[in-house]
Structure 1
Amino acid sequence: MSELDIERRGSTAVLTLNRPQAMNALSGSLMQAIARNVSALGRDDTVRAIIVTGAGERAFSAGLDLKELGTDASTLGAVDSASVEENPVRAIETCPKPVIAAINGVAITGGFELALACDVLIASTSARFADTHGRVGVIPGWGLSQKLPRLVGVYRAKEISFTGNFIDARTACDWGLVNRVVEPGDLMPAALKLAGEMAQVPAAFLSDYKRLIDDGFALPYGEAMALEQERSRHHNGAVSASELEARRANVQARGRSQ
């Protein structure tokens, strides 16, 4: 049985972490499989969006496979690797295609970080989130200590990380950790619908826009605004009036059909 199932739904690739008996814990081989396949899909022109989810109903991912780590600590190497062929979070963050997390159950520690690497997070009502780095004595290596305060505020982040307690899906949504919460049966349809809507935007433009948002988010506000101005001048200066008119007509047509 493959630890990572890959299914094509039109222009969308669905990656399913397939270790339900281990709550989809991230073994060394699974981490590398995610990294390699996300990198490959990012280069595949027939793929317009990627969805990452977990097999079964209990877990999106329970984080690093601590049982494996107990016998082979080299698994931590994939956490610290800068290579997009080894580090699943790095592969998702640098993927030129939008990556949607369909969070079907618990997302714990490394699983939490894997979800936060995605561009859009949709959670089922059974999803729960926890950071147990403190309880297992491992320092985050996939960005949780820096992303979480920026998303929910430093005080809430410290509460989550210092206690290791779970927060439920509704709280996660209220705190800005996920985009929306749906019933379990609606999770994949919602993710696929969103992926299809994203696929309507030209792929090259969507890639550039994703990079602009991510690059700007990593900068102080003033520098981020300057970055936007620089890229705006470069991109918009190459758009012809006829192209702009055709795109405007498409936007209007879409608006009338909704």
Structure 2
Amino acid sequence: MAKPEASTEPIVRTEQRGGVRILTLHRPAARNALSSALIEDLRRELAAADDDDRVDVVILTGSDPAFCAGLDLRELGATGGNAERIADAEIPVGHPWRPLSKPMIGAVNGAAITGGLELALACDFLIASERARFADTHARVGVLPGWGLTSRLPAAVGRGFARRMSLTGDFVDAATALRVGLVTEVVAHEQLLPTAVEVAVSVVGNDQAGVRTLLDSYRRAEEHLVDPALLVEDETSRAWMAEFDPSRVADRRAAVVGRGRAQNQG
């Protein structure tokens, strides 16, 4: 069971606009880092949205200044827990949540780092603020992905660019993300949520049975490539975690955060 957050304020904010459900990661002081509690709340809210007949499209975003800074390194370094492995029988290997039957748009308002990048990649497509930044810092921290990054990132940006991101840990800005195909559009920061809602409303205006059947067809057409890749990642991550020393994360945390901030501001 996840330890409750100290604040009584919800760490996943929800808003309904017509047929669009907006979910906002809300740990701004921690740059929306993924604590166990945040992951559990997000999964619960996504499942509720998928089961709610009022909802046709879900938008996932974050409270400024970040989209999601990845796993909470304080929690990971202190406990040695792997938040990506919070048990839930309904969640298939390589997924951060139970896959939705409805379209999910990621509105990336700031840095999407490591586990945060994996959340973004699990959306059906992404729209980015000009302030968005993307990085895979698994190798910097000394942990391995478990939510499908090694399958979804190369599918989005190509084999070479994906390996460059993962092996260097360097940040990619919004313009580059658009150029390589990670996001579908980059807009002024204040226009991010209005733009995402506008696109979502376009989807809502279609035949919803057709939308969901088409989305399912896209996913099933990819299964012969995606599912084996997700199993390889899971096997690799489990073997790595069997030898995992949480003190390595604690030791590297300050250097990882400092290097990331320097690049993100550069």
- Quickly name the TM-score band, shorter chain normalised: 0.7 to 0.9
> What is the alpha-carbon distance in structure 1 between the residues aligned to residue 93 and residue 23 of structure 2?
16
> What is the alpha-carbon distance in structure 2 between the residues aligned to residue 84 and residue 209 of structure 1?
22
Q: Choose which of 91, 94, 99 in structure 1 pairs with 2:97.
A: 91
Q: Choose which of 73, 76, 81 in structure 2 pairs with 1:69.
A: 76
Cα–Cα, structure 1 residues 88 and 36, in superposed 2: closer, same or farther, change >3 Å?
A: farther
> What is the alpha-carbon distance in structure 2 between the residues aligned to residue 51 and residue 186 of structure 1?
14
> What is the alpha-carbon distance in structure 2 between the residues aligned to residue 77 and residue 87 of structure 1?
14
Structure exhibiting the larger radius of gyration computed from Cα positions: 1
> What is the alpha-carbon distance in structure 2 between the residues aligned to residue 138 and residue 149 of structure 1?
19
What secondary structure does 2:214 align onto?
helix
Structure of higher RCO (CA pairs closer than 8 Å, 6+ residues apart): 2
Q: Scaled by the length of structure 1, what TM-score is found?
A: 0.80
Question: Residue 150 of structure 1: CA displacement?
Answer: 1.9
Which residues of 2 match residues 122-137 of structure 1 at below 5 A? 122-137=127-142
> What is the alpha-carbon distance in structure 2 between the residues aligned to residue 135 and residue 83 of structure 1?
30
What secondary structure does 2:97 align onto?
helix
Q: Report the counterpart of residue 31 of structure 1 in structure 2.
A: 39
RMSD: 2.1
> What is the alpha-carbon distance in structure 1 between the residues aligned to residue 208 and residue 87 of structure 2?
28
> What is the alpha-carbon distance in structure 1 between the residues aligned to residue 181 and residue 18 of structure 2?
30
One-letter code aligned to 1:32: E
Question: Residue 80 of structure 1: CA displacement?
Answer: 6.1
> What is the alpha-carbon distance in structure 2 between the residues aligned to residue 122 and residue 101 of structure 1?
6
> What is the alpha-carbon distance in structure 2 between the residues aligned to residue 211 and residue 218 of structure 1?
11
- Aligned pair 1:116/2:124, yes or no? no
Gaps of 5+ in 1: 221-258
Deviation string, structure 1 residues 124-176 (Cα, Å, up to 9, x no partner): 00000000000111111011111112222211111110000000001001001
Question: Residue 97 of structure 1: CA displacement?
Answer: 1.0
Q: Report the counterpart of residue 158 of structure 2 in structure 1.
A: 153
One-letter code aligned to 1:67: R
Gaps of 5+ in 2: 1-8, 226-266
Q: Choose which of 21, 25, 28 in structure 1 pairs with 2:29.
A: 21
Deviation string, structure 1 residues 189-228 (Cα, Å, up to 9, x no partner): 10000111100122222111111101112325xxxxxxxx
Q: Scaled by the length of structure 2, what TM-score is found?
A: 0.77
> What is the alpha-carbon distance in structure 2 between the residues aligned to residue 82 and residue 42 of structure 1?
16
- How many residue pairs end up in the alignment? 218
> What is the alpha-carbon distance in structure 1 between the residues aligned to residue 110 and residue 171 of structure 2?
12
Q: Choose which of 79, 94, 102 in structure 1 pairs with 2:85.
A: 79
What secondary structure does 1:193 align onto?
helix
* Greater displacement, 83-92 / 38-47: 83-92
Q: Report the counterpart of residue 193 of structure 2 in structure 1.
A: 188
> What is the alpha-carbon distance in structure 1 between the residues aligned to residue 34 and residue 196 of structure 2?
22
> What is the alpha-carbon distance in structure 1 between the residues aligned to residue 84 and residue 92 of structure 2?
6
1:15 and 1:50 in contact (8 A); partners too: yes
One-letter code aligned to 1:40: A
Q: Could you tell me the percent identity over the aligned residues?
A: 43
- Aligned pair 1:2/2:10, yes or no? yes
Q: Choose which of 142, 164, 173 in structure 2 pairs with 1:168.
A: 173
